[in-house]
């Protein structure tokens, strides 16, 4: 236990102290970001990949959403908090939201290759990568498979071995159905893609990917050379111990354990807490890491 606390940076954030000096994002800033946002589709490895671009900057920050999600559901509350970062590129992966599907299963490796291809398509030499949940695992794969494109990675609730998920996760996944998929995720998907068959396809492919998830080797994780920030919640579906192990395998990685549940630190649509300043605190943590 002592080793755990010596090697973890724990941010138990007390709102009244942390935000004496921080400024909230104004409604005007939110409006300006949306007004100046550019969206498009790119022909990537046989799919039409949807992406959004906010701002300008030399090292763009690529945002990769979680399973069953869209840009809005994973990052709708985080993007405005990173308004002054520079350029942000948010993507939607195979079969998710506005991005088309291909006649193959979803894999984290393929998602990593798709994001890498988009980075090249946009003529970005190096990028910072931030992924949440399944997007966090994809971020690890990008750093493994395409290190030449990566400057830094922020992995929020990512996993590389089955043992990293809480007890009962895989049993529960076996019985998951579209009918018990979280309502906000279903609604958000249909808001941007009204095809209910596409929603079902995405759900089944996400489910199959997790049921059939195969462990990555420690050597794969050790091969990551990008500067890395790992974030996990103290009541996450990914265990703190697993995230600690990743931090020990990646040379120089930083680990932050935040209070809350899966996604609450970034205000993910299913776990956002009204009035919470935790997403703001997380954005400060991310910015400090990226600005180092």
Which residues touch 288 (CB under 8 Å, ≥6 apart)? none
Structure tokens at 115: 């994001």
Instruction: Write the burial class of residue 91 (CB in 10 Å: 0-12 exposed, 13-18 middle, 19+ buried).
Output: buried
Residue 53 has pLDDT above 50, yes or no: yes
Residue 39 has pLDDT above 60, yes or no: yes
Residue 14 has pLDDT above 50, yes or no: no
Residue 29 has pLDDT above 80, yes or no: no
Q: Tell me: the pLDDT tens digits for 101-122?
A: 999 999 999 999 999 999 999 9
Residue 1 has pLDDT above 60, yes or no: no
Residue 226 has pLDDT above 60, yes or no: yes
The number of distinct structural domains making up the chain is 1
pLDDT of res. 7: 47
Radius of gyration (Cα) for the chain, nearest Å?
A: 18
Q: Tell me: the pLDDT tens digits for 176-208?
A: 999 999 999 999 999 999 999 999 999 999 999
pLDDT, average across residues 154-175: 97
pLDDT, average across residues 28-50: 84
pLDDT of res. 30: 60
Question: In this predicted model, which residue has the larger pLDDT, 131 or 5?
Answer: 131
Domain CATH number, residue 16: 3.40.50.1820
Beta strand 227-235 pairing with 88-91: unpaired
d(C-alpha 232, C-alpha 230), whole Å: 7
| pLDDT level of residue 21 (50, 70, 90 thresholds) | very low
Residue 249 has pLDDT above 80, yes or no: yes
Question: In this predicted model, which residue has the larger pLDDT, 22 or 243?
Answer: 243
Q: Tell me: the pLDDT tens digits for 68-114?
A: 999 999 999 999 999 999 999 999 999 999 999 999 999 999 999 99
Residue 142 has pLDDT above 50, yes or no: yes
pLDDT of res. 67: 97
Question: In this predicted model, which residue has the larger pLDDT, 29 or 175?
Answer: 175
pLDDT, average across residues 243-266: 98
pLDDT of res. 12: 44
Q: What is the pTM of this model?
A: 0.92
pLDDT of res. 36: 83
Range(s) of the domain holding residue 199: 2-291
Structure tokens at 169: 């996760």
């Amino acid at each position: 236990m002592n080793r755990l606390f010596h090697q973890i940076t724990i941010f138990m954030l007390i709102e009244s102290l942390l935000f004496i000096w921080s400024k909230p994002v104004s409604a005007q800033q939110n409006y300006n970001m949306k007004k100046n946002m550019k969206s498009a589709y790119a022909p990537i490895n046989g799919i039409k990949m949807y992406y959004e671009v906010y701002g300008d900057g030399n090292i763009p920050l690529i945002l990769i959403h979680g399973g069953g999600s869209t840009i809005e559901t994973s990052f709708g509350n985080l993007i405005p908090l990173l308004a002054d970062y520079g350029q942000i590129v948010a993507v939607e992966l195979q079969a998710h939201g506005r991005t088309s599907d291909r006649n193959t299963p979803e894999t984290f490796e393929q998602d990593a290759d798709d994001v890498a291809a988009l980075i090249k398509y946009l003529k970005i030499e190096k990028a910072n990568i931030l992924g949440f949940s399944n997007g966090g695992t994809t971020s690890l794969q990008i750093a493994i498979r395409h290190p030449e494109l990566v400057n830094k990675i922020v992995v929020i609730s990512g996993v590389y071995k089955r043992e990293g998920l809480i007890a009962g996760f895989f049993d529960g996944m076996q019985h998951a159905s579209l009918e018990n998929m979280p309502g906000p995720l279903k609604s958000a998907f249909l808001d941007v893609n009204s095809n209910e068959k596409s929603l079902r396809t995405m759900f089944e492919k996400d489910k199959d990917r997790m049921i059939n998830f195969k462990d990555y080797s420690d050597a794969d994780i050790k091969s990551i050379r990008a500067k890395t920030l790992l974030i996990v919640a103290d009541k996450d579906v990914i265990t703190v111990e697993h995230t600690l192990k990743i931090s020990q395998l990646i040379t120089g990685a930083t680990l932050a354990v935040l209070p809350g549940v899966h996604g609450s630190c970034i205000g993910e649509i299913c776990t956002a807490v009204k009035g919470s300043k935790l997403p703001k605190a997380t954005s400060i943590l991310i910015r400090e890491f990226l600005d180092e």
